[in-house]
């Protein structure tokens, strides 16, 4: 439906029409406009200074009335006067109470309202027009199978797979929950004339993922016009966003920042985000990025671990290791690795507990201390006389996992570019491969230093041989 709407024009508005939309709906611009920067059209539209702007003297560059913010609360408000939106939100149950569920369904409803073959469904509102200004982002979920292959060995490959699987699950949930609502049966799911496909769900996900910002007091949301600001990290970031006392969205020039006429007003989408996350959520990498910055390596409990099922049952941690830049070197963190590093003979124990409603539940213990949260395990181990041994085991697990990742990256090497591969996926995949190999190599050296210079050396002689 959405692709058709873009092609046929009923779901597309040129960005030149934005000022009229903004004025009509009470958005105030102060010394800025929205559009592409000549020579940088591939960055899409952005916020541009209409005159010289001086950081400490400017009023807000944009003020967006709170009613226009696409947040969970506002979707609930829209649903009060839109019976069709309400029906879908109620049908999907808990998912409709999450910000993501509510916003994605709201976006889908706006496309449905605009579709000329769908009659008398939903209530037209200012945002029905706004989504027509949003471009299609080439996020990796839209890369072809061949393009995704270029990511083999990078942390983005499993992330894209997992995302596509979770999008499929969500779409299936939406279908099952709404297929018996009369208008949904007819307009969305009918085998011959139904308009909705999985691609629509992918598209509303991409809209939200690439434009959501966390606003103080509102949470994750899309703020029209502010979401036209492109990203720049570090000192280059020109503006910040926040809400005023009434909950309206504001774009403010940073203190002391001067932007010359026709200069770009950027915000940051998060300076700490790694290269993988940037490509995943926004489909680009800043030219200045020189490090993968943060990586998440998934970790499995070995199949020969007799406690594997119990460990899986009680785990509350992210199942992997996070590598990140810290003071010029690479550090790692993982709550999960400690669960793999210890076993029954060390003091890890599991018991079955009967709950009041008659169900059976696994309970974990570390030497008599109940482990109801995996994150506590590390602090128990730190107090243990064998802490250095556990630490060494954990470091070895991390080391081996990094080696495995480097091996998979190396196996693919520098792939050939086939004719069907588009320029953007090709460039991004190559950069990511280089950035992640560099970071893994540096992490490996940091770990070797840790083992060979720290107190771990004594134990390493025994454990590693």
Ligand X SMILES: C[S@@+](CC[C@H](N)C(=O)[O-])C[C@H]1O[C@@H](n2cnc3c(N)ncnc32)[C@H](O)[C@@H]1O
Residues forming contacts to ligand X in the complex (CB under 6 A) are 43-46, 134-135, 137, 210-211, 227-228, 230-232, 282-284, 286
User: Closest approach of Cβ 268 to ligand X, in Å?
Assistant: 10
Residues 418, 148 contacting (CB under 8 angstroms): no
Torsion over CA: 382, 388, 394, 399 (sign): positive
Output Rg (C-alpha) for the chain, integer angstroms.
Answer: 26
Largest CA distance in the chain: 75
User: Closest approach of Cβ 52 to ligand X, in Å?
Assistant: 22
> Between 134 and 196, whose beta carbon lies closer to ligand X?
134
User: Closest approach of Cβ 258 to ligand X, in Å?
Assistant: 20
Which structure tokens are listed for 3? Answer: 């692709």
Which residues, at least 6 apart from 128, have a Cβ–Cβ distance to it below 8 Å?
110, 113, 114, 122
From 101, 104, 81, select the one nearest 93 (Cα to Cα): 101
User: Closest approach of Cβ 379 to ligand X, in Å?
Assistant: 40
User: Closest approach of Cβ 197 to ligand X, in Å?
Assistant: 22
Q: How many CA atoms lie within 13 Å of 441's alpha carbon, on the beta-carbon side?
A: 9
Give the three-state DSSP class for 53.
strand
User: Closest approach of Cβ 137 to ligand X, in Å?
Assistant: 5
> Between 137 and 335, whose beta carbon lies closer to ligand X?
137
User: Closest approach of Cβ 255 to ligand X, in Å?
Assistant: 22
C-alpha span between 103 and 209 (Å, rounded): 11
C-alpha span between 145 and 278 (Å, rounded): 20
Q: How far is CA 272 from CA 206, 207, 294, 366, 436, in A?
A: 21, 22, 8, 34, 15
> Between 84 and 211, whose beta carbon lies closer to ligand X?
211
Query: Residue with the closest Cβ to ligand X?
Result: 44
User: Closest approach of Cβ 286 to ligand X, in Å?
Assistant: 5
Residues 318, 336 contacting (CB under 8 angstroms): yes
> Between 138 and 164, whose beta carbon lies closer to ligand X?
138
> Between 218 and 396, whose beta carbon lies closer to ligand X?
218
- Nearest 5°: CA angle at 235, between 229 and 443? 105
> Between 40 and 407, whose beta carbon lies closer to ligand X?
40
> Between 200 and 227, whose beta carbon lies closer to ligand X?
227
> Between 135 and 217, whose beta carbon lies closer to ligand X?
135
* Residue written as token pair 């609930």: 76
What DSSP assignment string belongs to 154-165? Answer: STHHHHHHHHHH
């Amino acid at each position: 439906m959405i692709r058709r709407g873009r092609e046929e024009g009923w779901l597309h508005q040129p960005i030149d029409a934005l000022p009229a939309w903004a004025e009509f709906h009470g958005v105030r611009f102060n010394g800025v406009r929205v559009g592409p920067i000549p020579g940088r059209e591939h960055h899409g539209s952005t916020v541009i200074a209409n005159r010289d702007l001086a950081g400490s003297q400017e009023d807000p560059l944009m003020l967006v009335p709170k009613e226009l913010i696409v947040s969970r609360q506002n979707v609930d408000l829209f649903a009060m006067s839109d019976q069709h939106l309400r029906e879908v939100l109620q049908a999907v149950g808990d998912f409709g109470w999450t910000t993501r569920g509510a916003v994605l369904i709201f976006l889908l409803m706006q496309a449905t309202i605009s579709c000329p073959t769908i009659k008398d469904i939903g209530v037209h509102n200012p945002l029905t027009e706004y989504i027509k200004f949003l471009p299609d982002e080439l996020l990796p979920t839209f890369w072809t199978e061949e393009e995704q292959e270029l990511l083999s060995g990078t942390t983005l490959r499993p992330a894209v797979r997992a995302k596509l699987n979770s999008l499929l699950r969500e779409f299936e949930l939406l279908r099952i929950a709404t297929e018996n609502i009369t208008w949904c049966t007819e307009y969305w799911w009918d085998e011959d004339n139904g308009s909705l496909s999985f691609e629509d769900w992918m598209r509303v996900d991409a809209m939200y993922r690439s434009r959501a910002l966390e606003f103080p007091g509102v949470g994750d949301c899309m703020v029209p016009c502010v979401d036209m600001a492109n990203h720049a990290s570090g000192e280059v970031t020109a503006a910040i966003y926040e809400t005023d006392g009434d909950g309206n969205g504001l774009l403010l020039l940073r203190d002391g920042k001067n932007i010359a006429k026709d200069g770009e007003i950027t915000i940051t989408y998060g300076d700490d985000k790694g290269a993988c996350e940037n490509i995943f959520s926004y489909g680009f990498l800043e030219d200045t990025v020189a490090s993968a910055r943060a990586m998440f390596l998934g970790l499995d409990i070995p199949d020969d671990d007799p406690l594997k099922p119990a460990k899986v049952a009680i785990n509350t941690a992210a199942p992997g290791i996070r590598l990140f830049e810290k003071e010029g070197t690479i550090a790692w963190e993982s709550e999960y690795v400690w669960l793999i590093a210890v076993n029954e003979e060390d003091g890890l124990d599991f018991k079955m507990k009967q709950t009041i409603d008659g169900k059976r539940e696994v309970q974990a213990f570390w030497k008599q201390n109940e482990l109801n949260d995996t994150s506590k395990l590390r602090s128990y181990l730190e107090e243990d006389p064998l802490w250095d041994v556990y630490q060494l085991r954990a470091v070895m697990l991390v080391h081996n996992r990094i080696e495995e990742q480097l091996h998979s990256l190396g196996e693919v090497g520098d792939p050939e570019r086939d004719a069907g591969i588009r320029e953007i996926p090709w460039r991004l995949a190559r950069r990511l491969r280089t950035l992640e190999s560099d970071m893994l190599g540096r992490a490996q050296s940091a770990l070797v230093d840790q083992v060979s210079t720290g107190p771990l050396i004594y134990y390493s002689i025994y454990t590693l041989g």
